[in-house]
C-alpha cells in the first residue's frame, strides 16, 4: 500500500497534535517555508517515534474502509429496486425471508462454482434467507451464451431453473455453449424453444440491465454478493456469509 508524505503527515499530525487542535490543521493555507518547517518537524518526530507510522497507516486504512462502506451503502440504496425487485431474476430460498442474499454469477467462473455449495448451505442453515440470482456472464462468448440460456430457461419454466442452475454450477469440464444446452436438455427444457427465447430482444434487454446494474455497483468480477446494504466483491466461505447475514439482521433490528 502506497501513501504520500502529506497523507502520512496528516495522519501523524492527528496523532501528534492535541485533540482540540488536530481538526484545525489546514495545510492549504501554509506558505512554502511553513510547509517545509512542518515537514521537517514531522520527519524528526517520526524518526524518534517510528511506531507512529504504523498507527498513522492504521488510521488511514480505517478511514478509507469506512468511506468505502458508506459509498457501497449509498449505491445499494440508490439501486435498491433493480437489486431486489427487478422482476426477471430468480428468487429462491425463502421468498418471504427477512434478509436477501443477492449473488452475481458466471457459470464458467471457478470461484462461483466454489461458492455454489456454500450458498446452498447458507439456505439450508438459515431458512429465513431470500436468494436472488443475477446472471452476470463476463468470461467470454460461452459465458454469455450460458447466461442468456439461463435467463431464457427461467422465463420459460421457473420450476426447472433451480435444477439447471445447480447442474451448470456443478459441471467440472469446459462449459461451452453446446455443453450448456446439453445440460438444459437433460433438465427437461425444449432446446429449440430455449434457443429461440435466449436470442430474443427481451432476454438481451434483461442481460444488459444486469450489466448496467453491475457497473453501477462497481462490480468487476464474480462472484459478488449483496447482503443487506453490504456489497461483497469476491468469494466468501459459508461461515462468513452467515456472519454477514447476522450483521445485516442486527443492523435492521
Chunk the chain into consecutive blocks of 10 residues (it has 253) and report each block's average pLDDT, rounded to whole numbers.
49 49 60 83 80 73 75 93 96 96 98 97 97 98 98 96 97 97 98 98 97 96 96 96 96 82
Residue 71 neighbours by CB distance under 10 Å: 12
- Phi/psi at 154 (nearest 5 deg)? -60, -40
Would you state the pLDDT for residue 22?
45
Would you state the pLDDT for residue 65?
73
Q: What is the pTM of this model?
A: 0.76
Reported as a single tens digit per residue, the pLDDT across 58-117 is 776 777 777 767 888 999 999 999 999 999 999 999 999 999 999 999 999 999 999 999
DSSP assignment of the chain? ----HHHHHHHHHHHHS-HHHHTT--GGG--HHHHHHHHHHHHHHHHH-THHHHHHHHHHHHHHHHHHHHHHHHHHHHTHHHHH--SSSEEEE-TT-SEEEEEEE-TT-HHHHHHHHHHHHHHHH-TTEEEEEEE---SSHHHHHHHHHHHHHHHH-HHHHHHHHHHHHH--S---HHHHHHHHHHHT--HHHHHHHHTSHHHHHHHHHHHHHHHHTT--SS-EEEETTEEEES---HHHHHHHHHHHHHHH-
Would you state the pLDDT for residue 2?
46
Would you state the pLDDT for residue 77?
95
Would you state the pLDDT for residue 18?
46
What span, in angstroms and rounded, lies between the C-alpha atoms of 127 and 228? 16
Would you state the pLDDT for residue 19?
42
Place of cell 497534535: 17
> Which is it for strands 224-227 and 99-105: parallel, antiparallel or unpaired?
antiparallel
Amino acid at each position: 500500500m502506497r501513501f504520500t508524505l502529506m497523507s502520512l503527515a496528516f495522519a501523524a499530525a492527528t496523532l501528534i497534535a492535541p485533540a482540540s487542535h488536530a481538526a484545525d490543521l489546514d495545510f492549504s493555507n501554509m506558505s512554502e517555508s511553513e510547509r517545509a518547517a512542518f515537514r521537517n518537524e514531522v520527519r524528526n518526530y517520526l524518526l524518534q517515534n517510528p511506531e507512529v507510522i504504523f498507527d498513522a497507516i492504521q488510521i488511514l486504512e480505517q478511514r478509507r474502509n469506512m468511506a468505502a462502506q458508506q459509498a457501497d451503502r449509498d449505491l445499494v440504496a440508490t439501486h435498491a429496486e433493480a437489486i431486489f425487485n427487478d422482476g426477471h431474476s430468480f428468487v429462491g430460498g425463502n421468498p418471504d425471508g427477512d434478509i436477501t442474499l443477492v449473488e452475481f454469477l458466471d457459470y464458467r467462473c471457478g470461484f462461483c462454482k466454489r461458492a455454489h455449495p456454500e450458498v446452498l448451505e447458507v439456505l439450508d442453515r438459515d431458512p429465513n434467507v431470500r436468494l436472488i440470482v443475477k446472471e452476470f456472464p463476463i468470461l467470454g462468448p460461452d459465458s454469455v451464451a450460458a447466461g442468456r440460456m439461463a435467463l431464457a430457461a427461467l422465463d420459460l419454466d421457473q420450476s426447472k431453473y433451480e435444477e439447471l442452475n445447480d447442474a451448470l454450477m456443478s459441471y467440472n469440464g469446459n462449459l461451452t455453449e453446446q455443453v450448456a444446452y446439453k445440460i438444459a436438455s437433460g433438465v427437461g427444457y425444449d432446446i429449440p424453444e430455449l434457443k429461440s427465447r435466449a436470442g430474443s430482444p427481451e432476454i438481451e434487454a434483461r442481460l444488459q440491465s444486469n450489466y448496467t446494474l453491475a457497473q453501477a455497483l462497481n462490480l468487476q468480477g464474480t462472484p459478488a454478493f449483496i447482503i443487506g446494504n453490504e456489497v461483497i466483491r469476491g468469494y466468501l466461505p459459508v461461515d462468513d456469509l452467515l456472519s454477514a447475514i447476522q450483521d445485516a439482521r442486527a443492523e435492521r433490528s
